[in-house]
A = this chain, B = another copy of it.
Amino acid sequence: MPGEPPPTSRLRLTLAYQGTPFDGWQSQPTGNAVQDHVEKAFAAIAGCRVVVHGASRTDAGVHALAQVAHAEPPASATPNDWALALNAHLPDGIRVTAVSRASPAFHARYSASGKTYEYRIWNARYLHPLERGRAWHIPSAIDDATLAAATRRLAGRHDFALLSANRRTVVRSTIRTVHSIDLRRSGPLLRLRFRGDGFLYKMIRILVGASLRCARGQAGLDWIDQLLAGATRRCTFCAPAEGLYLVEVHYARGKTPAA
């Protein structure tokens, strides 16, 4: 039809990956970041460099159930063909679970309105062999009630400067809103689910580290208040990466126009 814009070649990708075998999301000199592998797969198929932008720069060891990314390859194939071809080129530890056309205005990172992460803790004397690389092993007693109290204090809109690893000069603001932190225990397995509008560098792992310090009796809940008030030193207790999962990237309807 005359006047109709040409079909965009921007694609929205959903990806699942295991954190352990890779050097995090963001491209590394090793070539072993998830972004590197996805870009290599695109290049092998398209014959040219295709930059892939991820919604979350997950650290090495962090798993993703549904990372979102966008890329703008030559408009030569259908989204379904891209999914098939990319998975044929990707290592087993990374899978593209969905591909759809996206508007040129869609940006995986900047269009996102929030994210959900889960942190898994295996709280038993011995780490279950099937949980290796998939949970933080804490053999000592955890007081679930104190843990819940700590997470209740952390939820909400706060300055998380002392609960992240960012330098103040790098990010514009260290104020974030954590909409909710849900705690669930099923036997030795403790799961903390974080939903927020955005998280600073290592923030979730430090929130987990700080909460667990309280729940193991190593600090009082007042310390959480002091951290949020900027009235103490930065928290250096960072939970290990292998317990962290990127569960979902949220997009407000208006911000993700369909192609």
Residues on A lying within 8 angstroms of B by beta carbon are 16-18, 63, 65, 83, 87, 92-97, 124, 126-130, 132, 134
User: Chain B residues near A96 (CB, 8 Å)?
Assistant: 126
Residues in chain B near residue A128, CB distance under 8 A: 16, 95, 97
Q: Which B residues lie within 8 Å of A65 (CB)?
A: 130
Q: List 12 A-B contacts (CB under 8 A).
A: A16-B128, A17-B129, A18-B132, A63-B130, A83-B126, A87-B126, A93-B129, A95-B129, A97-B124, A97-B126, A97-B128, A130-B134
Give the secondary structure class of A's interface: mixed
Task: Name A63's closest neighbour in chain B (CB-CB).
Answer: B130
In the complex, A17→B87 CA distance in Å? 30
Contacts of A126 in B (CB 8 A): 83, 87, 95-97
Q: Are B92 and A130 in contact (CB under 8 A)?
A: no
Cα distance, A137 to B97, chains bound together (Å): 14
Chain B minimum-CB-distance residue to A64: B129
Residues of the B chain whose Cβ atoms lie less than 8 Å from the Cβ of A124: 97
